[in-house]
Structure 1
Amino acid sequence: MGEYSYLYNKSTHGGNCITGDGDHLYIYLKESIAKAVNIDIIVAFLMESGVKLLAEDFKEAVNRGTALRILCGNYLNITQPQALYLLKDFLGDKVDLRFYNNPNKSFHPKAYIFRYKDNGEIFIGSSNISRSALTDGIEWNYRICSDTSPQDYAHFKQTFDDLFFNQSIIVDDNEMRKYSKNWKKPKLFYDLEKLENRTTEDSGFKQSQFVAEMRSEYITDAQDEDRKRGIIIGYPRPMGPQIEALYELKKARLDGWNKGIVVAATGVGKTFLAAFDSKEFKKVLFVAHREEILFQAERTFKCVRPEISTGFFSGEQKDRECDVLFATVQTLGRREYLDDKIFSRDEFDYIVIDEFHHAVAESYVNIIEYFRPKFLLGLTATPERLDNQDVFALCDYNLVYEVRLKEAINKGWLVPFRYYGIYDEIDYSGIDYKNGKYNEKQLEQVLSINKRADLILQNYLKYKSQRALGFCSSRNHAVFMAKYFKDHGINACAVISGNGYSNLDDTQTYLYVVERNEAVKRLKTAEIKVIFSVDIFNEGLDVPEVDMVMFLRPTESPTIFLQQLGRGLRKKGEKKYVNVLDFIGNYKKANLIPFFLTGDIKERNEKSRMAYLPDEDEYPEGCFVDFDFRLVDIFKRMWHEQKNLFDKVKEEYFRVKEYLGDRPSRLSMYTYLDENIYSVIRTKKELNIFKDYLSFLDKIGELLPSEQALIGTKAHEFLKEIENTNMTKMYKMPVLLAFYNKGNMKLAIDENDIYESFREFYSHPSNAIDLMKDNNTSNYKEWGKKEYVNLAKKNPIKFLLQSSPDFFRERNGQFCLAPALDKYINNPAFIEHYKDIIDYRTRKFYKERLEKRYVDEGMDIVDN
């Protein structure tokens, strides 16, 4: 009987009346599931804990051929999304799971219908699928047997069939994702939490079963509940976000992906997710940029997988023989360690790159390009970067799972925020600004003044904060703020890295600077009230007791803003919200802050261009946002001062050029172009530089003489044709690559060229996703020359001949480019632009495939 065998001693097993408390419905259901040939369940809601209780029993049943149908409600969001994910994970297509779909009627049935070889029975009463309802809750249920009450049995069965087939929607993967994405923790549960806080054992108050059930599911940690019941698990089990993400990761691998990215808000358990997901892999590598993150990750992995051996590859420690290796990117990313003599390319079966938004850096890229794991997982809360580098591209736009700030707060996984935008009189217009950043020294000087420090202090004193974090512009600024607060009776300190305190002598600095670990320890005990820092606490800090976050510098990046905001959003005890004090002046991009707070990246990109402030209901549930009226005026002025769109595109081009140190290609511009700008020009043909990149370069005076010779020629027309050709799948790319021939372009290709190009192209899993998902091509790994050539002739070659007859034709069994292109076939500029278009179109396809998936599933499109 597994975990709940001890319940038999309490049960009056055998009667038709099951009344809960000591008489548990679970025992009856377990026996019935074990012998049933058909199982039909209809309940108002499903809970994660109840599904966990029954999942193994269901799995054994369906594996022996039992038909299982479940009809549940989605009214008022009582059904937990992770309960659906658990069922689908355990049972796959062997469960027919549906939602009742009549919004005009209440839905409160609770019945378990079993058909055996010779007869059947129904348990009908008050028990939904939740742990407390099936075990020790006060629940009344009655058993009806088909032998003694055939008419009643038949009536309930017939009614179930009618509801199931005629008033339901199938819960497939898309429906499940839509439900999860839109699911909000019902307000009722917040009221129940308040009731729980007022209730003590001494009061003699006995809660209703519904309250007790909700307490069990939403207030008390499931593992603690299990321990109270005497069920010691030994290691934690996945909770809500992990359950959903684990399902999507497993499905991604079944679909053929060998890498993917998970975007999850700070505080929802990304490292636990990696530990759970890696359990089926033999040797694991975990990469991060700080040793503290590695130490925390090792503790997490040991908690989930206590049997593993661990090691570290960082600094002086160079472990090798272990199940899970934790490595700093600074050490492992060096070329001297990426060598077959130290690590083979297939050394690790599973690689985790933590804080994946850093992964565009060279040392990360070295690791990603060297190793060939069975699966690579990128983890981040904030993939958007200040420099617009495309983090999603590193995983071929395979966004496996996403739960952003707004969704995490809506689901009750993080606490809401109370945000106060405070007017800052600092004039930023005189500070040098280059490549998206203010001059650090000049900024430090204008921010480190007593008048501004007093503004910060007075606003801090309005709230009864016990543990606060203040994010500053520089180390000297952090020390200055710590000194000012401490001089005014607030026990504060600065936590900084490196040296160079130019404004203070060593003795003074010593008084206000505390070592990181010691400061965190003293903050947890509230001995220190405020820690001032720069970026050192953006990642890796786990102090859920933090009740205030202060932004004391210009906000230049959504990534940094959301990371720092996330430091205060972790749940802890009676903590109901976090206060956020943001001191805002007329600095660049200040008008984006309202949209950062919505946690909705797509909405930010689309609406931040307009003179518009988000409505109250656009912020996460339970959050409060208040901007000083003078800030609203600043925002409006910034919106009205926006430049002509083409000028902004041109300005972006030169920004990217300066950043790269070279003229950007199409691929580079597509990767680094500001997403706000791209979201506009992609819909305007006359402004979309990617429709005719050569002409854009010509217009802004960036063409080389060799490229100038292509303008207006047949070669130019051909390049435009390739830039604009339709692509619903990637079949055209390997054909175009066959002509490219690794830089030695051909005017004609034969079947051998086509076969080699297709085979090489589809050896990369990300390119082969469309083949995997189509039943006609899913066995592509077994294909030879005949199958690939047939695919090419039936799809891309056929359509290129139809859509672009001026440039493609067939001659003597070969597929050819137009003779007019012959004189350009060896032109280096022509070849370079041709290959650049292929690379750009491939990446664009990846990104738009992700966007299409989100549209198909009824979710918001994720832009990077």
Structure 2
Amino acid sequence: MNVTKKLIVNSQKGNLLNELTKAIDECEQFYFSVAFINFSGLQLLLDAFKGAEKKGVKGQIITSTYLNFTEGKALKKIKKFNNIDLKVFVTDKEIGFHTKAYIFEFKDYYKVIIGSSNITQSALKSNIEWNVELITKDDALFIQDVLKEYDYLWNSSVEADDEFIRRYEEFIQSLSAFQPKKQMIYENAEYIVPNRMQKQAVENLDRIRSFGEKKALVVAATGTGKTYMSAFDVKSYNPKRILFIVHREEILKKAKETFEKLITNRGLTFGLLTGNHKQGHADYIFGTIQTISKCYLEFKQDEFDYLIIDEAHHATSPSYQSVLDYFKPKFTLGMTATPERSDHSNVFDLFDNNVALEVRLHDALEDDLVIPFHYFGITDIEGVDLSDVNIDDVAEITKRLKVNERVDYIISQMNFYGHDGKKRKALGFCASIEHAKYMAEEFNNRGYKSVCLFGGDTVDQRAYYVNKLEDDQDELQCIFTVDIFNEGVDIPSVNTVLMLRPTNSPIVFIQQLGRGLRKHDSKTFLTVLDFIGNHNKTFLIAIALNGSRYYDKESLKVAIATKFANIPGSTHIQMDKIAQERILEQIDKENFKSLKYLKEEYFEFKKLNSGKIPYFLMDYMKYDGAPDPIKYIDLKKTYLEFVASVEKEDALKKLLENELFEGALKELSSKLPIKRVYEFVIAKYLLEHQEISLTTARSEILKIVQDVQEDSVVHAFECLNQDYYDSGQLKRNLKLFTYSGGKLEKTQALINVLENEECRMYIEDLLNYGISRYKKEFKEKDYGLPHFKLYEQYQMADAALLSNYRKSHSSFRGSGLLSNENDYFLFIDLHKEADIKESINYQDEFINERFFQWQSPNSTAQSSERGKNIIYNKDRNINLHLFIRKYKQIDGKTEPYIYIGKGNTVSFEGEKPITVKIELEHEVPANLYKEFTIKV
């Protein structure tokens, strides 16, 4: 065997953790030498060490006291493994210890990984690290040198016995007693810079205001810096007077301090308006709604230039409404982490559907706005059988979960995986109040101080126990509850989340997970233990963790197989083998597009919507992890038709008997989800106006996107005029707009529909949904012409619309190669169905992330104009756009294509078809490449 070498870096393609766990699993013995070990990294290796222990595989680990970075807690944990010997190299001022080497012994060869990574979560998963892996025969000179050096270090190190660890921990503690906890940087306001989320929000707010809009909403997870964001925007906008309204007094002082720190040297005064403080003369006032709702009439209506509503989901309540109706500021900003908590009306409507920014869980992880989590999916004990229970039968589920043996199992797993920080601060989510009480009682019986909290407890009771949990000196370790705490209960230092009931909703799962993701000095990661039973909806966990807008069987299976490699940063997701197989089996059996599945999904969503029928598409924009209502439209042509059919709603059915209304809904619904925003912006404007000019249309579109070509606005008018419908489409679809003399206006049919207030409300909701979803998915970027976004999903006909094609758009189908002037669109299926009657088996495949092999239609000759355009595309100024899908159909429904960008032919061979090698302009991202190429 020659020496084989490989560079290991942390990226979407892989990471050092994967390499280490695989090697530990397969080797006969291992030897590590690392400068330091943190518990954050060790926790990720625990299962691999446990597997090695079961197989009798021995290991040796050397670490050091260098810079006192190694954690005593990590040393204690390693000591619990019978198969691992642990030593510590004690450093002094003269000698440092910097090794990062991982040696694995196999039957007749060695694998050695040497590089820059210690055992910490970020070094193993997300830091920029270089590690070189060498595989060499056991008699090679190189490995003899490595082993000799390792033995020298081993003999120079001391055994990490209990006494050594005790003295080391005492030393570390004595150091922290003398040193300030954190070296604070002097925060001169000029040096506080916005993070990516804050910068993006301020830019978007500027753009929204530049078009005369007076309100906007920012949706971002708790702890992501919304208050700083609002202060940055105020600093930029420079109003004379502002009013900052909050729901709870404890937020208020922090908000005032943030503004004072950031906005300096402007001669402004800052004051509080609460039950205890009456500083209503200040320039910038920070007040509680409780106080302001009693005294707002003492101010002039135009007293404030800028109004900020924190926790804006409360703004639909009467106390807020009277205040908001009274004041007439130049601009109002709403901020919320949870737009879904409004029980009255839609919080989006309150802010004119101007969402300046939306930061959901995956965005927050990617931007490092929350801490990473380590999720362990653990197969539940055999004694708990939920296979034949309805997931809504809470009483029966509670009965089956109340098992003493299960409590012992949960505690043993909790102790095995451990937690970050000195004291365990755990939230346990249970199936019912009865289950939560049982868990608290049983934990207490076993010496783990616990309490049960639920909605019936007073605010003071909750605050009392939360403070006890947060207090490092208090014995309280666990709070058991049913659903997420209401927002009044925030526990930033939670370091453990226990999922103790079957997951029946991705939304609730994400909300519960979010309870532990706040940044806090006492933790660097959150430990999540999910006890996965055998109930028939276990696969919902995969949907929640995948975090993808689109999912089908294939993408979910790839996500599970790759340990959710698309999750950013140091976050780690690991499921044991049984849980993994159980979920994969369920995914195979489930048809995500069947009426049965869609009804179940809809009714689960309805429960979260306070049990109210979600009549509006915008209801689905309120929740992270909400179902995609486009699936319901695909089934029934309009969303309301689906609701009417599953709800047996007579009033709704009667409304849909109005043929013009139903026709208008169908015509607009057929365009969802929109891939360019122009048509819907124009249609929304025409709800309030009889006609729109090209100039006005362009101005309205620029409120949403950075730029738009004039010809594209003309094309949008033509499309709304149904210029490119074929005869069948013209017959089937109601005409809503008419284009002549450079202006677009409403048809009489649409005017008649809009005269009915209820019909108008539903049409407006549909347009708002289309625009809001577009903004969320495409942001404000101008994609040029053709209007394609990389890695977005498209159907064939979308290419006609997005390239301003001026013939029937329905002609864009059926063939793998379509064109519009200099743009060639290659639509490619990677897996061909066996029953397709093709005279040739096309060899379309990825060569690697940068090159793709494609075969032209089998009638194309090299000498034809089309053939020349393909093989000499760059010289002939022909753009080759590649759209790829893995399968043509899944569960009997046609799959969309994914746009992977433009490419250029670099070599070609053969005739009819021509086989071409295309170099892509953009390397396909690792997670997408895996999805295209991995077979599960």
Within 5 Å, give how 1:151-166 maps onto structure 2: none
AA matched with 2:379: Y
* 1:238 corresponds to 2:193: yes
Counterpart of 1:484 in structure 2: which amino acid?
E
Q: Does structure 1 residue 678 correspond to structure 2 residue 612?
A: no
Cα 1:363–1:423 change in 2 (3 A) is farther
Is the 8 Å Cα contact of residues 482 and 492 (structure 1) preserved in structure 2?
Answer: yes
Given candidates 667, 680, 683, the residue that maps to 1:733 is 683
Contact 2:309–2:334 under 8 Å retained in 1: yes
| Structure with greater proportional strand content | 2
Number of the residue aligned with 2:270:
309
CA distance in 2, matches of 1:414, 1:770: 28
2:227 corresponds to:
271
Secondary structure of the structure 2 residue equivalent to 1:846? helix
**Are 1:593 and 2:514 an aligned pair?**
no
Show CA shifts across 1:521-543 (max 9, x none). 56332433513043575757776
Q: Which residue of 2 aligns with 1:341?
A: 297
Q: Secondary structure at the match of 1:203?
A: coil
Structure-2 change in CA distance of 1:707 and 1:558 (3 Å): closer
The answer to whether the 8 Å contact 2:348/2:355 transfers is: yes
Instruction: Note if contact 1:422-1:584 (Cα within 8 Å) is conserved in structure 2.
Output: yes
- The match for 1:490 is 448
Q: Say whether the 8 Å CA contact 2:274–2:287 is kept in structure 1.
A: yes
CA contact (8 A) 2:620 2:626 kept: no
Does the 8 A contact of 1:268 with 1:408 survive in 2?
A: yes
Which letter does structure 1 place at the counterpart of 2:443?
A: F
1:618 match: 566
CA contact (8 A) 1:556 1:589 kept: yes
Instruction: Return the alpha-carbon distance in structure 1 between the equivalents of residues 575 and 510 of structure 2.
Output: 18
Is the counterpart of residue 532 in structure 1 residue 448 in structure 2? no
Do residues 471 (structure 1) and 428 (structure 2) align?
A: yes
How far apart in 2 are the matches of 1:773 and 1:798?
Answer: 19
1:281 aligns with 2:225: no
Residue number among 199, 204, 207 corresponding to 1:252 in the alignment: 207
1:632 corresponds to which of 580, 585, 595: 580
Name the CA distance, whole Å, in 2 between partners of 1:718 and 1:232: 56
Give, as a single letter, the amino acid of the residue that structure 2 aligns with 1:584: I
Cα shift at 1:420: 1.7
Q: Which has the higher helix share?
A: 1
- Read off the aligned partner of 2:496 and give its amino acid letter: M
How far apart, CA to CA, are the structure 1 residues paired with 2:525 and 2:504? 25
In 1: Cα distance, 2:719 partner to 2:362 partner: 46
User: For 2:745 and 2:770, how far apart are their aligned partners in 1?
Assistant: 26
Q: What is the RMSD of the two structures over their aligned residues, measured on CA atoms?
A: 6.0
Question: Cα offset for 1:613?
Answer: 1.7
1:666 touches 1:690 (CA, 8 Å); kept in 2? no
Aligned partner of 2:177 in structure 1 is none
| Equivalence for 1:645 | 594
Whether 1:551 aligns to 2:505 is: no
8 Å CA contact retained: 2:305, 2:331: yes
Tell me if the contact between 1:255 and 1:773 (Cα under 8 Å) persists in the aligned partners: no
What amino acid maps onto 1:470 in structure 2? L
AA aligned opposite 1:278: V
CA distance in 1, matches of 2:770, 2:670: 12
- Check if 1:453 corresponds to 2:374: no
CA contact (8 A) 2:307 2:333 kept: yes
Show the 5 A alignment for 1:379-528: 379-381=335-337, 395=351, 398-401=354-357, 404-406=360-362, 408-409=364-365, 414-425=370-381, 426-428=384-386, 439=394, 446-465=400-419, 466-473=423-430, 477-494=435-452, 498-499=456-457, 516-517=463-464, 519-520=466-467, 523-528=470-475
- AA partner of residue 272 (structure 2): G
Instruction: Report if aligned partners of 1:495, 1:519 keep a CA contact under 8 Å in 2.
Output: no
User: Cα deviations across residues 127-178 of structure 1 (Å, max 9, x unaligned)?
Assistant: xxxxxxxxxxxxxxxxxxxxxxxxxxxxxxxxxxxxxxxxxxxxxxxxxxxx
Matched, 1:800 2:754: no
Alpha carbons 1:429, 1:587 under 8 Å: kept? yes
Q: Percent identity?
A: 28
Q: Provide the secondary structure at the position in 1 that maps to 2:297.
A: coil
Distance 1:544 1:405 in 2: 16
CA contact under 8 A between 1:731 and 1:795: conserved in structure 2?
A: no
Contact preservation (8 Å) 1:386, 1:558: no
- Contact kept, 8 Å, 1:470 with 1:531, in 2: the verdict is yes
The answer to whether the 8 A contact 1:292-1:540 is kept is no
SS in 1 for 2:498: strand
- Distance change in 2, residues 1:672/1:283 (3 Å): closer
Q: Which moved more, 1:612-621 or 1:376-385?
A: 376-385
Give distance in 1, aligned partners of 2:600 and 2:777: 27
Deviation of the 1:844 alpha carbon: 1.4
- The 3 A distance-change label for structure 1 pair 268 and 644 is closer
2:568 match: secondary structure: coil
Kindly provide the amino acid, as one letter, of the partner of residue 847 in structure 1: R
Contact preservation (8 Å) 1:410, 1:621: yes
Q: 1:191-243 CA distances to partner (integer Å, 9 max, x unpaired)?
A: 9x9978489998368999xx9xxxxx99xxxx98785xxx6737982353466
**Measured at CA, do residues 837 and 546 of structure 1 come closer, stay the same or move farther in structure 2, by a change above 3 Å?**
closer
Cα contact 1:284–1:348 (8 A) shared by 2: yes
CA distance in 2 between partners of 1:542 and 1:700 (Å)? 37
Which residues of structure 1 form unaligned runs of 5+?
A: 1-74, 78-190, 212-216, 501-512, 740-752, 778-790
1:733 alignment partner, SS class: helix
Structure 2 residue 797 is the aligned partner of structure 1 residue 841: no
SS in 2 for 1:532: strand
- Unaligned 5+ runs, structure 2: 1-8, 12-62, 71-88, 99-115, 117-126, 129-180, 784-788, 794-936
Query: How many angstroms does 1:769 deviate by?
Result: 0.9
Q: Distance in 1 between matches of 2:436 and 2:577?
A: 28
Question: Which residue does 2:638 correspond to in 1?
Answer: 690
Measured after TM superposition, the shift of residue 836 of structure 1 is: 3.0
1:618 aligned counterpart, secondary structure: coil
- Secondary structure class of the residue paired with 1:622: coil
| Mapped partners of 1:272, 1:200: distance in 2 | 44
Q: Is the 8 A contact 1:352 1:376 kept in 2?
A: yes
- Say whether the 8 Å CA contact 1:548–1:578 is kept in structure 2: yes
Please show how residues 812-823 of structure 1 align to structure 2 within 5 Å: none
Structure-2 change in CA distance of 1:861 and 1:565 (3 Å): farther
Q: Are the aligned partners of 2:316 and 2:342 in contact in 1 as well (CA < 8 Å)? A: no
Q: Distance in 1 between matches of 2:611 and 2:183?
A: 58
Matches within 5 A, 1:678-827: 678-680=629-631, 684=634, 687=635, 689-690=637-638, 710-711=658-659, 720-721=666-667, 724=670, 728-730=678-680, 732-733=682-683, 736-737=686-687, 754=691, 769=703, 796=717, 800=721, 802=723, 807=735
Q: 1:331 to 1:406 in 2, by over 3 A?
A: same
SS in 2 for 1:583: strand
| SS in structure 2 of the partner of residue 769 of structure 1 | coil
Amino acid at match of 1:646: L
Judging changes above 3 Å, is the alpha-carbon distance between structure 1 residues 453 and 631 closer, same or farther for their aligned structure 2 residues? same
Q: Deviations over 1:259-298 (max 9, x none)?
A: 4444545444333333333343344444555444445545
> What amino acid maps onto 1:733 in structure 2?
A
